[in-house]
Amino acid sequence: MSADQDVNLVFNSALDAQQKGRIEEAILAYQQLLAPSSASPLTKDQASVVHHNLSVLYLKRDETKLAQIENFLALRKNPGNSQALELRKQNDQLKQNQIQIDKTWSNSAALTIIPAELLFVFLVAILIGLFRSLRVHFKLKRIAEIDNNEPPILGLNPRLLIAALFPVLALLAIRFYDDQRPRGLVILDNSEISAAPGSNQAVITTINAGTEVLILRTTESEDVKYVQVQSTNQFSGWTKANNIAIY
């Protein structure tokens, strides 16, 4: 049996359990599909469907926070998932109490001082101002050439704009790089962050469900997959991959 057939078998088993009201069995089967150690990783669309189904199941168990997290992940994997969108729209618990993602671990403080949108506004304003200033400068230069006069020196205004252009471009490049770094969402409360991967390691801290983290790397220890996560102050630690839903 192929890996894809295995996925279909587990999914159909989970769906059957869900339809027959065997909630615990369905949740375990869906979690098996999302497990990092899965032999056949799901596509984003498939993962979105699984997260949506988990959200429905958690709502039936009145576990609102987990339902919110799964709904968030369903739409993160596939923003066009109509079922997940409809569930959020119709369900008051999801609509009125949408999960507030804690990004204190995943955002660099220095990069969040100036929003990316504001940087783009600065960039556009600088480019427009620079274009106008240079157009005036070259117009004056042509006039000076016609009159056989000394060409004008580039004014202070365009020089200041050029000087401001490079830091803005650098900040935008850093923001773009930071946005491409892999992130994940903690899906279990009190997930332990240890000094090293493996069991019986010193626990540094714990983080709650709904916390977004930067993913540095993954490894296996004692047949268990672990991920290294990083916080804003460059502190890093290890947690079980099952605690994290990686985007």
One domain, residues 115 and 155 = yes
pLDDT by residue (tens digit) across 78-128? 999 999 988 888 877 666 555 556 565 555 555 556 777 888 999 999 999
The strand pairing partners of 236, in sequence order, are: 230
For 234, the domain range is: 183-246
3-state helix, strand, coil in the chain (%, to 5): 55, 15, 30
In a domain, 78, yes or no: yes
Within 13 A of 100's CA, how many CA atoms are on the CB side?
3
Per-residue confidence at 163, pLDDT binned at 50, 70, 90?
Answer: very high
Report the run of H or E that residue 55 belongs to, with start and end. Answer: helix 44-60
Boundary of a domain, candidates 65, 96, 127: 96
In a domain, 104, yes or no: no
In a domain, 101, yes or no: no
CA distance 70 to 84: 9
Q: What is the CATH number of the domain that holds 58?
A: 1.25.40.10
Q: What is the CATH number of the domain that holds 215?
A: 2.30.30.40
> Residue 24: which residues within 8 A CB-CB, separation 6 or more?
none
- What per-residue confidence (pLDDT) applies to 231? 65
pTM confidence score: 0.62
CA distance 105 to 159: 39
One domain, residues 176 and 193 = no
One domain, residues 162 and 188 = no
Alpha helices in 61-115 (DSSP H): 64-77, 82-90, 92-96, 109-112
